[in-house]
Amino acid sequence: MTKKLYDEDAYLKKFSAKVISCEKYPAATEAAETFKYDVVLDQTLFFPEEGGQTPDKGTLGGYPVVDVQIKNEVIIHTISVPVDEEAPMKAGDEVAGEIDWPHRCSNMQQHTGEHIFSGLVHKNFGYDNVGFHLSDSIVTMDYNGPLTEDDVRDLEWETNRVIMQQIPVSASYPDDEKLAALDYRCKKELKGAIRIVTIPGVDDCACCAPHVKNTGEVGLFKVLDFQSYKGGVRLSILCGFRALLDYRIVRTHLRDISHITSAPMYEAAEAVTKLKAERDGLKFALGEANRRMLSVQISQIAADVVSPMIFTDGVDTAAVRSAVNEMVASHDGYCGIFNGNDDAGYSFIIGSRDLDCNDLARFFREKFSAKCGGKPEMIQGHIDAKRAVIENYIISK
């Protein structure tokens, strides 16, 4: 068993320990720049991936710790070592470790914020937290019962009230008698010593992770999104500095949208909706004009023309397909319409009543890595090539 120093003091940043073992991964490939070693210590500050939370980051013996796992109460640190260096450490060595404190602190803020919210959900609705994921970019919680938008807003508000009260947060290992009398949250049946994280009047929960000393250190709790999930609800949240950074990003984008639309920030959504409606109307009108132009182009093709090709832009696929069928009925060879431009490439539909269109498809795939296919009588796809190149090939055929 590895002694868990983070259990004793979640605020320590540096420690020293004795190396129990240091084993290298299988040989790296020629292109690899580093080897990875699995290191076991007699004690550690590094919290492993456990309880829905990603592991701590930091250094061990000066080398980056890229992963931390726990197996049968033994914590395994994976470090990255340049390939041109000797084995970084051996059994019996004393080694210094340092955790990435901003990363640890952020995880503590997120996890304690989740406990507050989950405790309030359990207290007010009787639901259990049946899923929790804390990564470097997202925090999600799943509950086994529904919540309305008003419920979520009220719970978010109450969570922040608890944060402002600066309630002490503690962790302990109650004996069997105390544990039996305690009404605590737990996702699964546990054996052995059970660690209980307590926020008086708010929550008691079995948890292995480090937490802040009082609720005030969570700083801020914000629900980003929620949705129905497996008969209950899934929420995405952020706490502390992560919530502040998210607010900065959202506020910046909202300010930019406000400037672009010449609308106050809190009317930006309405302004964008109006712009989208105008854009959709113009797009529809342009499409109608392009379809009429396409009909004119087809009518101007002489009856004896073989393999007529039309290049257009902004016409919907259904109209293009109908036009190709019209051309095939009146002309020999390949009849095709290329929809797009030289910069963005062309989507196309090509048909024929006397040639195998798959010959063209094979050439387009081989010559231009085009994505296309279909039947002998008709193919469709997209090609990144210039109009002149496409026309020259088809004429030569």
Which of 362, 313, 366 has its CA nearest to residue 342?
313
The whole-number pLDDT of residue 29 equals 55
Q: Structural domain of residue 10, as residue ranges?
A: 3-99
Q: Which two tokens stand for residue 222?
A: 């914000």
Domain termination residue (choose one: 240, 257, 274): 257
Residue 379 lies in a domain: yes
**Residue matched to tokens 């132009």:** 293
Residues of the chain with pLDDT under 50: none
Q: State the helix-helix crossing angle for 387-396 and 357-368, rounded to 10 degrees.
A: 140
| CA distance linking residue 125 with residue 128, whole number of Å | 9
pLDDT at 287: 82
Judge if 47 and 182 occupy the same domain. no
pLDDT at 397: 54
Amino acid at 262: S
Are 247 and 301 members of one domain? no
How large is the greatest C-alpha to C-alpha distance in the chain, in angstroms?
A: 97
Percent composition of the chain: helix, strand, coil (DSSP 3-state, to 5): 35, 30, 30
Q: In this structure, is residue 32 part of a structural domain?
A: yes
Other C-beta atoms within 10 Å of 250: how many? 11
Q: Is residue 262 domain-resident?
A: no
- Would the pTM of this model clear 0.85, i.e. be above it? no
What is the C-alpha separation between 227 and 161, in angstroms, rounded? Answer: 24
- The packing angle between helices 268-299 and 317-330, to 10°, is 0
CA distance 207 to 111: 10
Q: Are 100 and 18 in contact (CB under 8 A)?
A: no
Residue-level pLDDT at 28: 57
Nearest alpha carbon to residue 323 among 340, 307, 335: 335
pLDDT in tens, 181-233: 888 888 777 777 899 999 999 999 999 999 999 999 999 999 999 999 999 99
> 345-351 and 335-341: which strand pairing?
antiparallel
231: in domain = yes
- pLDDT by residue (tens digit) across 79-138? 999 888 888 999 999 999 999 999 999 999 999 999 999 999 999 999 999 999 999 888
pLDDT at 91: 94
Q: Which of 257, 292, 307 is the last residue of a domain?
A: 257
Q: Which amino acid is at 131?
A: G
| Element holding 261 (H helix, E strand) | helix 240-261
